[in-house]
Structure 1
Amino acid sequence: MNGLSCCFRAAEGFRTVQTATNGTTMNDHSAMRAVSSFSTMASVRRVACTLLACCLVVAGACSRDEGKAKGARAKGPAPVTAAVAARQDIPVRLKAVGNVEASATVQVRSRITGELTGIHFREGDDVRKGQKLFTIDPRPMEAALREARARQERTRAQLTKAEDDLRRFASLVEGGFVSREQYEQIRTTAEGLRASLREAEAAVESAALQRDYCIITAPADARAGAVGAHIGNMIKANADDWLVTLDTVEPVYVSFSIPEVHLPAVLALRQSGTGRVLARPDGGDEVEGRLDFVDNSVDTATGTIRLRATFDNRTRSLWPGRFVDVRLTLATHKDAVVVPSRAVQAGVDGPYAYVVADGRAELRNLAVGVQADTMTEVLQGIAPGEKVVVEGLMRLTPGAEVVIRAADAGRNATASPADTTATPGGPSGDTPPGGASKSAGAAAEKGAADTATDSKQAGGNAAQTSVPTQGPTQGPTGTKAAEARQ
């Protein structure tokens, strides 16, 4: 502000001199038209130029004084938040998007033709196996059953008489009172009536079955969908139109696809029976299931293979048709060195982080492995027990003095890695040392947002300094540029 004020005062002085020059020229125009007028104007211009130069020098001095004052205010340790690198087991998981499917779907249809006279459940209700769902008018089927039973009784009576005749003719034919031909005729009649009785009994069973079909029951425990007919409708036997769809939701299946490169590891998991699959619906809790199916071929169009996991779904958090986030655990890295993902930044030469050593920020190039929900595995660059900066990164340069906030000085980096992404380095998800990773890029974006907030909070203590995320490539030139900006 002081330099700007000096410039304003210089401009006002120049305008005053110019006004005086114009006034002098107008007042002496008639008396000193030749040499005197030229000499006065030249003198006044020299004075004005000298005055303007002095003002610019003063303004520059004011600006330098103000910059020095700001630099003095910016000096001092930068407050940061740090976490301690620790060792812990971290699982290597594949991430995919899965689709929930009912373990069984039944479209209920009528086996007989008749009028729908009853619906005994509410749409969307859970139904149990054997529970009555619909009633078809049973009166025609009951009449047919009575008719079949009457035919059965008549045939049974005829058979009884024929058997009595057969016994009498057997004794008569032995005494020679009747011919053998008559006896054979009676025997044939009895055999025919026995067959007719069996036919009548089958007709009774069929009629009874048709009557039973008037009551439609649930074939399994399931959840009912929308009803496709109303009371009073005529229902046709085995029609294409269904009455209701039943979905079995305990258990449910989750189908998903993974890149074919991971197929050997997945087959080993399925063979050992240790295929642990986690699924999380949007806005819901994570649930655990088991891998139970691997498709018999790879999709040549996408280079992926379809897998399926089974979930008991007792909490009903998985709904058929819904998409869920799926995580399949392939392996577990034992005693891995982990740090918060916010501490890992992305640079041109790969990921890096700041380590607090002897009160100063030390830039470390990293080789990272898999990334957890909030944690990242460090393969090279940081040892267990070292303190890494997780907040305040935007104000740091290599070698800058830092002070760790008291509340976070001893905070440990351990956490439960619920979401680990396998990176393109191989089936295990490891990234080759020195190479950049997607996980580091994501951590850089998240860290940038966190450190920007931290810079706003610390704005009253020190001037904000913007340092590029390509920390590992700064070297001496990058450090000098940062110091020049300060």
Structure 2
Amino acid sequence: MRRLLLALPLIFIALLVLLLAVRGNRENYAVAKEEEVKILVYGSGFAKASQYVVVRAEVSGHVKEVYVKEGDFVRKGQVLALMDAGPLEAGIREASERLNLVRERLKEGSPYLRSLENAVESSRVSMENSRRLFERRERLFSQGLIPKETYEQSRTQYELASKEHERAKSSYEDAINSLRSEERVLLAERERLIREKEKYTIKSPIEGYVLKKFVNPGDYINHISQENRLFSVGSGGWEVWLEVDEEYASMLKEGQRVLLRVDAYPERSFEGRVFQVVREVDRSRKLITVKVSAELPEDLPNGSTVDGQIEVERKRALLIPAVAYREGHVLLYDGVRRVKTPVKVGRRYGEYFEVLEGLRPGDRVILP
């Protein structure tokens, strides 16, 4: 049950005990006294880590290793578990081997490049020989020393040799370009497989504590299943979510002090500050949520039950015992006689009324 608490400091309770019921010669009275009072709004809820994440798998497979246990502190990026990536590892090895072969072929002075270069050089030598023969026979033909058929034959041989040389150069360039293209493809494929393999290494996305471990080595994880949970990790800071009756919404503000009690530590009390008032009412329960930042023990279980008293107002008030108030007036004792005195009272604080008008500190009011 959510409620509004009207609180007095302990020291004030002690002072009010001294406030008296002082007994004069014939009169029993109390002294009006100004003291500090607090207005507290009660709420109940739970504690949660400021940063709370459930670590899930991005891929399906068997859990190979688990490196942490519940309660362990982990850094952001720390490895929590390892999943079996056997097929991917085979693919990475194959891509690496093919990539090494291509790079060996592209290496200057490699047997493969030498064979291509030798083919180009051989075609060049053949072309040069054909060219010299053609030029010599061209001169002889111009001098009428050889028949036209012999001249035409040498020209045809030169043209064929030139074309063969061009084909050899083109084949050399095509082979080099093909190898370089294959190198790029294999490098991209290997990098893709390596990135995919990284998904089999489960890392913590935040710094904090392992709150819950859901898996053990050998478990199979289906990454599209709703049961895809490996760990929950929470940061060292805490938030408390309190549910408060909607009737107190206008009294709640960010920055207000909150006194907290945690079921897990019944002998201790804690302090927090409101950092957000959720301005939306749960219609079925007529409650609003108030979020509080708090310093709670690091080993507190996530989701622990918490009760809170939100200090919505603190002020000084003139107080008299409630029993001295008589439907709009009090009997004021001036040391000689009783004087019926109208008073205006405000909020009631336990056994005391706040006096808004009609009395001053030190006035003596008659008690029944």
Separation in structure 2 between the aligned mates of residue 103 and residue 290 of structure 1, nearest angstrom: 14
Greater helix proportion: 1
- Residue 349 of structure 1: how far off its partner (Å): 3.9
Separation in structure 2 between the aligned mates of residue 136 and residue 290 of structure 1, nearest angstrom: 42
Is 1:339 the counterpart of 2:311 in the alignment? no
Q: Residue type matched to 2:230 in 1? A: L
CA pair 98-180 structure 1, distance change in 2 beyond 3 A: same
Is 1:278 the counterpart of 2:258 in the alignment? yes
Separation in structure 2 between the aligned mates of residue 286 and residue 361 of structure 1, nearest angstrom: 48
CA contact (8 A) 2:102 2:182 kept: yes
Greater strand proportion: 2
Partner of residue 275, structure 2: 291
- Residue 185 of structure 1: how far off its partner (Å): 4.9
**TM (normalized to structure 2)?**
0.60
Separation in structure 1 between the aligned mates of residue 88 and residue 80 of structure 2, nearest angstrom: 18
CA contact (8 A) 2:242 2:308 kept: no
| 1:66-215 equivalent positions in 2, closer than 5 A | 85-88=33-36, 90=37, 94-137=41-84, 141-160=88-107, 176=162, 178=164, 183-215=169-201
- Residue 300 of structure 1: how far off its partner (Å): 5.7
CA pair 319-261 structure 1, distance change in 2 beyond 3 A: same
Separation in structure 1 between the aligned mates of residue 192 and residue 352 of structure 2, nearest angstrom: 68
String of CA shifts for 1:217-242, please: whole Å, max 9, x gaps: 32223333343233333334454321
- Residue 195 of structure 1: how far off its partner (Å): 3.0
CA pair 361-314 structure 1, distance change in 2 beyond 3 A: farther
CA contact (8 A) 1:260 1:298 kept: no
Separation in structure 1 between the aligned mates of residue 70 and residue 350 of structure 2, nearest angstrom: 40
Partner of residue 218, structure 1: 204
Separation in structure 2 between the aligned mates of residue 228 and residue 95 of structure 1, nearest angstrom: 36
The one of 203, 207, 216 equivalent to 1:230 is: 216
Partner of residue 322, structure 1: 305
Q: Residue type matched to 2:209 in 1? A: R
- Residue 327 of structure 1: how far off its partner (Å): 0.9
CA contact (8 A) 2:35 2:319 kept: no
**TM (normalized to structure 1)?**
0.48
String of CA shifts for 1:172-205, please: whole Å, max 9, x gaps: 6x99565656545543443343232223223333
- Residue 250 of structure 1: how far off its partner (Å): 0.9
- Residue 355 of structure 1: how far off its partner (Å): 6.8
Separation in structure 1 between the aligned mates of residue 339 and residue 317 of structure 2, nearest angstrom: 18
CA contact (8 A) 1:337 1:383 kept: no
Identical amino acids, percent of aligned pairs: 19
CA contact (8 A) 2:31 2:362 kept: no
Partner of residue 239, structure 2: 252
CA pair 131-124 structure 1, distance change in 2 beyond 3 A: same
- Residue 252 of structure 1: how far off its partner (Å): 1.9
Partner of residue 357, structure 2: 380
CA contact (8 A) 1:155 1:200 kept: no
Partner of residue 474, structure 1: none
- Residue 211 of structure 1: how far off its partner (Å): 4.5
CA pair 230-365 structure 1, distance change in 2 beyond 3 A: farther
CA contact (8 A) 1:251 1:310 kept: yes
CA pair 366-237 structure 1, distance change in 2 beyond 3 A: same
User: Does 1 or 2 have the higher relative contact order (CA < 8 Å, sep 6+)?
Assistant: 2
String of CA shifts for 1:90-131, please: whole Å, max 9, x gaps: 555544434433333322233444443433333244444334
Separation in structure 2 between the aligned mates of residue 81 and residue 198 of structure 1, nearest angstrom: 98
- Residue 354 of structure 1: how far off its partner (Å): 7.8
Q: Residue type matched to 2:83 in 1? A: I
CA pair 129-168 structure 1, distance change in 2 beyond 3 A: same
Q: CA RMSD in A?
A: 4.8
CA pair 304-123 structure 1, distance change in 2 beyond 3 A: closer
Secondary structure of 2:213 counterpart: coil
For structure 1, the 5+ residue unaligned runs are 1-75, 390-395, 398-486
Separation in structure 1 between the aligned mates of residue 186 and residue 293 of structure 2, nearest angstrom: 49
For structure 2, the 5+ residue unaligned runs are 1-23, 129-161
String of CA shifts for 1:6-30, please: whole Å, max 9, x gaps: xxxxxxxxxxxxxxxxxxxxxxxxx
Separation in structure 1 between the aligned mates of residue 204 and residue 351 of structure 2, nearest angstrom: 47
